[in-house]
Structure 1
Amino acid sequence: MKMLARHRREELICQQNLASSSSSEEDTDQLQPPPVRRKPVGRKKASPQKRGMTLALTSGVFAALAGTFGKLAINQAETISVCEQVSNYQFKFSTHDAFVLCENASVYIRIVAFVTMILLNTVMWTTFVKALHYCSTSLEATITNTAANFFSSAIVGQLVFDESVSLMWGFGTVLIICGLLLMNYGGGGKTGAELRDYRKKSKIR
Protein backbone atom coordinates (compact mmCIF):
# COMPACT_ATOMS: atom_id res chain seq x y z
CA MET A 1 0.00 0.00 0.00
CA LYS A 2 2.79 2.39 0.85
CA MET A 3 4.46 1.65 -2.50
CA LEU A 4 1.24 2.42 -4.39
CA ALA A 5 0.82 5.69 -2.50
CA ARG A 6 4.37 6.72 -3.38
CA HIS A 7 3.82 5.91 -7.07
CA ARG A 8 0.65 7.97 -7.12
CA ARG A 9 2.42 10.90 -5.47
CA GLU A 10 5.25 10.71 -7.98
CA GLU A 11 2.77 10.61 -10.88
CA LEU A 12 0.93 13.65 -9.51
CA ILE A 13 4.20 15.52 -9.09
CA CYS A 14 5.24 14.67 -12.70
CA GLN A 15 1.88 15.81 -14.05
CA GLN A 16 2.16 19.10 -12.13
CA ASN A 17 5.67 19.68 -13.45
CA LEU A 18 4.55 19.03 -17.03
CA ALA A 19 1.59 21.38 -16.67
CA SER A 20 3.76 24.15 -15.23
CA SER A 21 6.39 23.78 -17.99
CA SER A 22 3.77 23.92 -20.77
CA SER A 23 2.15 27.00 -19.24
CA SER A 24 5.52 28.74 -18.96
CA GLU A 25 6.27 27.96 -22.63
CA GLU A 26 2.90 29.42 -23.65
CA ASP A 27 3.64 32.55 -21.64
CA THR A 28 7.02 33.00 -23.28
CA ASP A 29 5.47 32.48 -26.73
CA GLN A 30 2.91 35.14 -25.98
CA LEU A 31 5.55 37.56 -24.71
CA GLN A 32 7.73 37.19 -27.81
CA PRO A 33 6.86 39.72 -30.55
CA PRO A 34 5.73 38.38 -33.92
CA PRO A 35 8.46 38.06 -36.55
CA VAL A 36 8.92 41.12 -38.73
CA ARG A 37 8.37 40.43 -42.40
CA ARG A 38 10.93 42.12 -44.53
CA LYS A 39 9.92 43.35 -47.92
CA PRO A 40 11.88 41.80 -50.76
CA VAL A 41 14.52 44.13 -52.07
CA GLY A 42 13.85 44.97 -55.71
CA ARG A 43 14.40 47.67 -58.25
CA LYS A 44 12.62 50.92 -57.74
CA LYS A 45 9.91 51.70 -60.23
CA ALA A 46 10.69 54.43 -62.70
CA SER A 47 8.80 57.69 -62.35
CA PRO A 48 5.95 58.36 -64.80
CA GLN A 49 7.99 61.14 -66.41
CA LYS A 50 10.93 58.84 -67.18
CA ARG A 51 8.59 56.09 -68.34
CA GLY A 52 6.89 58.50 -70.74
CA MET A 53 10.22 59.69 -72.13
CA THR A 54 11.38 56.09 -72.61
CA LEU A 55 8.18 55.16 -74.43
CA ALA A 56 8.43 58.26 -76.63
CA LEU A 57 12.04 57.46 -77.54
CA THR A 58 11.11 53.84 -78.30
CA SER A 59 8.25 54.91 -80.54
CA GLY A 60 10.63 57.22 -82.42
CA VAL A 61 13.06 54.36 -83.06
CA PHE A 62 10.22 52.17 -84.35
CA ALA A 63 9.09 55.03 -86.59
CA ALA A 64 12.58 55.28 -88.10
CA LEU A 65 12.70 51.53 -88.72
CA ALA A 66 9.24 51.66 -90.30
CA GLY A 67 10.40 54.45 -92.60
CA THR A 68 13.45 52.40 -93.58
CA PHE A 69 11.39 49.37 -94.54
CA GLY A 70 8.92 51.68 -96.30
CA LYS A 71 11.73 53.05 -98.43
CA LEU A 72 12.79 49.52 -99.32
CA ALA A 73 9.20 48.60 -100.18
CA ILE A 74 8.70 51.59 -102.51
CA ASN A 75 12.11 52.05 -104.14
CA GLN A 76 13.18 48.98 -106.10
CA ALA A 77 16.67 50.34 -106.84
CA GLU A 78 17.39 50.79 -103.13
CA THR A 79 16.10 47.28 -102.44
CA ILE A 80 18.41 45.76 -105.03
CA SER A 81 21.36 47.83 -103.77
CA VAL A 82 20.88 46.75 -100.14
CA CYS A 83 20.38 43.13 -101.21
CA GLU A 84 23.62 43.24 -103.20
CA GLN A 85 25.53 44.60 -100.22
CA VAL A 86 24.21 41.84 -97.97
CA SER A 87 24.95 39.18 -100.58
CA ASN A 88 28.51 40.42 -101.15
CA TYR A 89 29.57 40.91 -97.53
CA GLN A 90 27.59 38.19 -95.76
CA PHE A 91 27.25 35.37 -98.30
CA LYS A 92 30.38 36.15 -100.38
CA PHE A 93 28.56 36.13 -103.72
CA SER A 94 30.13 37.62 -106.80
CA THR A 95 28.83 40.93 -108.15
CA HIS A 96 27.06 39.35 -111.10
CA ASP A 97 25.45 36.57 -109.07
CA ALA A 98 24.34 39.00 -106.38
CA PHE A 99 22.76 41.31 -108.97
CA VAL A 100 20.85 38.47 -110.67
CA LEU A 101 19.67 37.04 -107.34
CA CYS A 102 18.55 40.40 -105.96
CA GLU A 103 16.80 41.43 -109.16
CA ASN A 104 14.77 38.22 -109.19
CA ALA A 105 14.00 38.38 -105.45
CA SER A 106 13.31 42.12 -105.29
CA VAL A 107 9.53 41.70 -105.55
CA TYR A 108 9.41 39.28 -102.59
CA ILE A 109 11.77 41.48 -100.56
CA ARG A 110 9.55 44.51 -101.17
CA ILE A 111 6.46 42.59 -100.07
CA VAL A 112 8.17 41.51 -96.84
CA ALA A 113 9.40 45.07 -96.28
CA PHE A 114 5.86 46.43 -96.78
CA VAL A 115 4.38 44.02 -94.23
CA THR A 116 7.21 44.80 -91.79
CA MET A 117 6.56 48.52 -92.23
CA ILE A 118 2.89 48.06 -91.25
CA LEU A 119 3.81 46.02 -88.16
CA LEU A 120 6.43 48.53 -87.03
CA ASN A 121 3.98 51.41 -87.50
CA THR A 122 1.45 49.57 -85.34
CA VAL A 123 4.00 49.10 -82.56
CA MET A 124 5.10 52.72 -82.92
CA TRP A 125 1.57 54.09 -82.48
CA THR A 126 0.92 51.81 -79.51
CA THR A 127 4.01 52.99 -77.65
CA PHE A 128 3.36 56.61 -78.63
CA VAL A 129 -0.18 56.53 -77.17
CA LYS A 130 1.25 55.15 -73.91
CA ALA A 131 3.88 57.90 -73.93
CA LEU A 132 1.13 60.52 -74.24
CA HIS A 133 -0.44 59.12 -71.06
CA TYR A 134 2.74 59.34 -68.99
CA CYS A 135 4.33 62.53 -70.33
CA SER A 136 3.40 65.88 -68.83
CA THR A 137 2.24 67.33 -72.16
CA SER A 138 1.53 65.99 -75.62
CA LEU A 139 4.14 68.40 -77.01
CA GLU A 140 6.85 66.74 -74.91
CA ALA A 141 5.95 63.27 -76.19
CA THR A 142 5.72 64.50 -79.78
CA ILE A 143 9.08 66.29 -79.77
CA THR A 144 10.82 63.36 -78.06
CA ASN A 145 9.34 60.99 -80.60
CA THR A 146 10.41 63.23 -83.47
CA ALA A 147 13.94 63.60 -82.09
CA ALA A 148 14.38 59.84 -81.69
CA ASN A 149 13.01 59.34 -85.20
CA PHE A 150 15.42 61.98 -86.50
CA PHE A 151 18.51 60.44 -84.88
CA SER A 152 17.61 56.85 -85.75
CA SER A 153 16.86 57.75 -89.37
CA ALA A 154 20.26 59.44 -89.68
CA ILE A 155 22.07 56.42 -88.24
CA VAL A 156 20.18 53.94 -90.42
CA GLY A 157 20.73 56.16 -93.47
CA GLN A 158 24.48 56.12 -92.90
CA LEU A 159 24.70 52.38 -92.24
CA VAL A 160 22.27 51.08 -94.86
CA PHE A 161 21.93 53.71 -97.61
CA ASP A 162 25.39 55.40 -97.35
CA GLU A 163 23.87 58.82 -96.72
CA SER A 164 26.02 61.72 -95.49
CA VAL A 165 25.30 63.98 -92.51
CA SER A 166 25.87 67.72 -92.91
CA LEU A 167 26.93 70.38 -90.41
CA MET A 168 23.40 71.76 -90.34
CA TRP A 169 22.18 68.36 -89.16
CA GLY A 170 24.61 68.49 -86.22
CA PHE A 171 23.45 71.99 -85.29
CA GLY A 172 19.81 70.87 -85.36
CA THR A 173 20.73 67.87 -83.20
CA VAL A 174 22.19 70.15 -80.53
CA LEU A 175 19.05 72.31 -80.54
CA ILE A 176 16.78 69.29 -80.18
CA ILE A 177 18.83 67.96 -77.24
CA CYS A 178 18.65 71.35 -75.50
CA GLY A 179 14.89 71.44 -75.99
CA LEU A 180 14.48 67.94 -74.57
CA LEU A 181 16.54 68.84 -71.51
CA LEU A 182 14.46 71.95 -70.88
CA MET A 183 11.21 70.00 -71.13
CA ASN A 184 12.49 67.18 -68.96
CA TYR A 185 13.59 69.43 -66.08
CA GLY A 186 10.75 71.93 -66.41
CA GLY A 187 7.80 69.53 -66.14
CA GLY A 188 8.25 68.73 -62.44
CA GLY A 189 7.90 64.99 -63.05
CA LYS A 190 4.08 65.13 -63.30
CA THR A 191 2.05 63.21 -65.82
CA GLY A 192 -0.57 64.74 -68.07
CA ALA A 193 -3.41 63.45 -65.88
CA GLU A 194 -1.79 64.87 -62.73
CA LEU A 195 -1.32 68.27 -64.36
CA ARG A 196 -4.96 68.35 -65.47
CA ASP A 197 -6.12 67.52 -61.94
CA TYR A 198 -3.85 70.24 -60.53
CA ARG A 199 -5.24 72.81 -62.96
CA LYS A 200 -8.83 71.87 -62.07
CA LYS A 201 -8.12 72.22 -58.35
CA SER A 202 -6.44 75.60 -58.87
CA LYS A 203 -9.47 76.85 -60.82
CA ILE A 204 -11.86 75.74 -58.08
CA ARG A 205 -9.84 77.60 -55.48
Structure 2
Amino acid sequence: MSTSTPQSIPQSSTSPWIILAITSGAFAALNGVFAKLTTDNHTTAFAQSLAHLFGLDSSPVIEMLTRGACLGLNVLCNVIMWALFTRALTAGPSTVKVSITNTASNFLATALLGMIVFQEAVGGLWWLGAAMMGAGCILVGMREGA
Protein backbone atom coordinates (compact mmCIF):
# COMPACT_ATOMS: atom_id res chain seq x y z
CA MET A 1 0.00 0.00 0.00
CA SER A 2 1.50 3.28 -0.99
CA THR A 3 1.05 6.40 1.00
CA SER A 4 0.54 9.51 -0.97
CA THR A 5 1.66 12.83 0.34
CA PRO A 6 -0.28 15.94 -0.48
CA GLN A 7 1.34 17.93 -3.22
CA SER A 8 1.85 21.60 -2.66
CA ILE A 9 -0.03 23.84 -4.98
CA PRO A 10 2.08 26.71 -6.26
CA GLN A 11 0.73 30.03 -5.11
CA SER A 12 1.08 33.33 -6.84
CA SER A 13 3.48 35.80 -5.32
CA THR A 14 0.59 38.00 -4.19
CA SER A 15 -2.25 36.55 -2.17
CA PRO A 16 -5.76 37.63 -3.14
CA TRP A 17 -6.47 38.98 0.35
CA ILE A 18 -3.63 41.50 0.02
CA ILE A 19 -5.09 42.96 -3.19
CA LEU A 20 -8.55 43.07 -1.61
CA ALA A 21 -7.26 44.78 1.55
CA ILE A 22 -5.22 47.37 -0.38
CA THR A 23 -8.13 48.12 -2.70
CA SER A 24 -10.47 48.38 0.27
CA GLY A 25 -8.15 50.94 1.87
CA ALA A 26 -8.03 52.92 -1.37
CA PHE A 27 -11.83 53.01 -1.57
CA ALA A 28 -11.95 54.16 2.06
CA ALA A 29 -9.72 57.07 1.08
CA LEU A 30 -11.94 57.86 -1.93
CA ASN A 31 -14.92 57.74 0.41
CA GLY A 32 -13.28 60.49 2.44
CA VAL A 33 -12.54 62.58 -0.65
CA PHE A 34 -16.15 62.46 -1.83
CA ALA A 35 -17.41 63.17 1.70
CA LYS A 36 -15.26 66.30 1.79
CA LEU A 37 -16.32 67.31 -1.71
CA THR A 38 -19.96 67.08 -0.62
CA THR A 39 -19.43 70.08 1.66
CA ASP A 40 -16.20 71.74 0.46
CA ASN A 41 -15.69 75.00 -1.45
CA HIS A 42 -13.81 73.09 -4.16
CA THR A 43 -17.16 71.67 -5.22
CA THR A 44 -18.57 75.14 -5.87
CA ALA A 45 -15.70 75.92 -8.23
CA PHE A 46 -16.02 72.49 -9.87
CA ALA A 47 -19.78 72.97 -10.39
CA GLN A 48 -19.15 76.38 -11.96
CA SER A 49 -16.55 74.83 -14.28
CA LEU A 50 -19.02 72.12 -15.30
CA ALA A 51 -21.72 74.69 -16.00
CA HIS A 52 -19.30 76.73 -18.11
CA LEU A 53 -18.15 73.59 -19.98
CA PHE A 54 -21.72 72.74 -20.97
CA GLY A 55 -22.63 76.36 -21.74
CA LEU A 56 -25.02 76.67 -18.79
CA ASP A 57 -25.47 79.50 -16.36
CA SER A 58 -23.86 78.83 -13.03
CA SER A 59 -26.77 78.21 -10.69
CA PRO A 60 -27.41 76.75 -7.25
CA VAL A 61 -29.15 73.81 -8.95
CA ILE A 62 -25.95 72.79 -10.77
CA GLU A 63 -24.02 73.06 -7.52
CA MET A 64 -26.59 70.98 -5.63
CA LEU A 65 -26.56 68.31 -8.34
CA THR A 66 -22.76 68.21 -8.18
CA ARG A 67 -22.85 67.89 -4.39
CA GLY A 68 -25.51 65.20 -4.70
CA ALA A 69 -23.30 63.28 -7.11
CA CYS A 70 -20.42 63.55 -4.64
CA LEU A 71 -22.69 62.26 -1.87
CA GLY A 72 -23.76 59.34 -4.06
CA LEU A 73 -20.14 58.53 -4.88
CA ASN A 74 -19.35 58.75 -1.16
CA VAL A 75 -21.97 56.12 -0.38
CA LEU A 76 -20.90 53.95 -3.34
CA CYS A 77 -17.23 54.02 -2.28
CA ASN A 78 -18.26 53.13 1.27
CA VAL A 79 -20.27 50.13 0.07
CA ILE A 80 -17.43 48.94 -2.18
CA MET A 81 -14.89 49.43 0.62
CA TRP A 82 -16.89 47.28 3.06
CA ALA A 83 -17.53 44.59 0.45
CA LEU A 84 -13.82 44.34 -0.38
CA PHE A 85 -12.82 44.47 3.29
CA THR A 86 -15.13 41.64 4.29
CA ARG A 87 -13.90 39.53 1.34
CA ALA A 88 -10.31 40.23 2.42
CA LEU A 89 -11.17 39.18 5.98
CA THR A 90 -12.62 35.93 4.66
CA ALA A 91 -9.62 35.21 2.42
CA GLY A 92 -6.89 36.49 4.75
CA PRO A 93 -4.80 34.53 7.22
CA SER A 94 -5.83 36.74 10.14
CA THR A 95 -8.02 39.75 10.81
CA VAL A 96 -5.00 41.61 12.17
CA LYS A 97 -3.01 41.28 8.94
CA VAL A 98 -5.98 42.31 6.82
CA SER A 99 -6.72 45.30 9.06
CA ILE A 100 -3.08 46.41 9.06
CA THR A 101 -2.85 46.21 5.28
CA ASN A 102 -6.16 48.04 4.86
CA THR A 103 -5.16 50.80 7.28
CA ALA A 104 -1.74 51.32 5.70
CA SER A 105 -3.30 51.53 2.25
CA ASN A 106 -5.91 53.97 3.52
CA PHE A 107 -3.28 56.24 5.11
CA LEU A 108 -1.13 56.37 2.01
CA ALA A 109 -4.04 56.88 -0.39
CA THR A 110 -5.55 59.56 1.87
CA ALA A 111 -2.29 61.50 1.92
CA LEU A 112 -1.81 61.25 -1.84
CA LEU A 113 -5.41 62.18 -2.65
CA GLY A 114 -5.29 65.08 -0.20
CA MET A 115 -2.20 66.44 -1.95
CA ILE A 116 -3.62 65.89 -5.45
CA VAL A 117 -7.28 66.83 -5.07
CA PHE A 118 -7.14 69.48 -2.31
CA GLN A 119 -3.53 70.68 -2.69
CA GLU A 120 -2.99 69.91 1.01
CA ALA A 121 0.52 70.06 2.36
CA VAL A 122 1.56 66.85 4.06
CA GLY A 123 4.58 67.69 6.18
CA GLY A 124 7.48 65.62 7.32
CA LEU A 125 6.01 65.18 10.81
CA TRP A 126 2.91 63.57 9.30
CA TRP A 127 5.06 61.17 7.25
CA LEU A 128 7.16 60.38 10.35
CA GLY A 129 4.01 59.62 12.33
CA ALA A 130 2.62 57.49 9.50
CA ALA A 131 5.92 55.60 9.29
CA MET A 132 5.87 54.98 13.05
CA MET A 133 2.29 53.73 12.87
CA GLY A 134 3.24 51.52 9.93
CA ALA A 135 6.20 50.11 11.83
CA GLY A 136 3.96 49.42 14.81
CA CYS A 137 1.45 47.66 12.57
CA ILE A 138 4.24 45.53 11.09
CA LEU A 139 5.41 44.56 14.58
CA VAL A 140 1.87 43.58 15.58
CA GLY A 141 1.51 41.64 12.32
CA MET A 142 4.79 39.81 12.97
CA ARG A 143 3.50 38.70 16.35
CA GLU A 144 0.58 37.07 14.59
CA GLY A 145 2.96 34.68 12.88
CA ALA A 146 3.57 34.00 9.24
Q: TM-score range by the shorter chain?
A: 0.7 to 0.9
Letter in 1 for 2:145: G
Give the drift of 1:53.
Answer: 1.7
Unaligned runs of 5+ in 1: 1-43, 92-96, 189-205
Structure 2 counterpart of 1:114, from 71, 81, 87: 71
Q: 1:113 to 1:62 in 2, by over 3 A?
A: same
Q: CA RMSD in A?
A: 3.0
The alpha carbon displacement at 1:159 in A equals 1.0
TM-score (norm 2): 0.74
Secondary structure of the equivalent of 1:162?
coil
Q: 1:160 to 1:114 in 2, by over 3 A?
A: same
Superposed displacement of residue 157, structure 1: 0.9
Counterpart CA distance in 2 for 1:174 and 1:81 is 34
Contact 1:64–1:152 under 8 Å retained in 2:
yes
> Whole-Å Cα distance in 2 between the matches of residues 167 and 146 of structure 1?
19
Task: Name segments (4+ residues, structure 1) moved above 4 Å.
Answer: 179-182
Maintained 8 Å contact 2:96/2:144: no
Give the structure 2 partner of residue 162 of structure 1: 119
Report which of the two structures shows the higher radius of gyration computed on alpha carbons. Answer: 1
Structure 2 residue aligned with 1:137: 94
| Alpha-carbon shift at residue 67 of structure 1 (Å) | 1.1
Identify the match of residue 12 of structure 2 among 32, 46, 52.
Answer: 46
Deviation at 1:83, TM superposition (A): 4.3
Whether 1:187 and 2:118 are equivalent positions in the alignment is: no
**Aligned length, in residue pairs:** 134
Displacement of 1:141 in angstroms is 1.4
Q: Does the CA contact (< 8 Å) of 1:60 and 1:124 recur in 2?
A: yes
| 1:77 aligned onto 2:41 | yes
Aligned residues of 1:76 and 1:110 also touching (Cα < 8 A): no
1:55 aligns with 2:20: yes
| 2:84 match | 127
TM-score by length of 1: 0.55
- Corresponding residue number in structure 1 for 2:7: none
What is the CA distance between 1:149 and its match in structure 2?
A: 1.1
- The Cα shift of 1:187 comes to 3.3
The one-letter code sitting in structure 2 at the alignment partner of 1:51 is P
Letter in 2 for 1:46: S
Separation in 2 of the partners of 1:69 and 1:111? 10
1:136 to partner: Cα distance: 2.2
For residues 175 and 107 of structure 1, the distance between their equivalents in structure 2, rounded to whole angstroms, comes to 41
- Report the Cα offset of residue 76 of structure 1: 4.5
- Identical aligned residues as a percent: 32
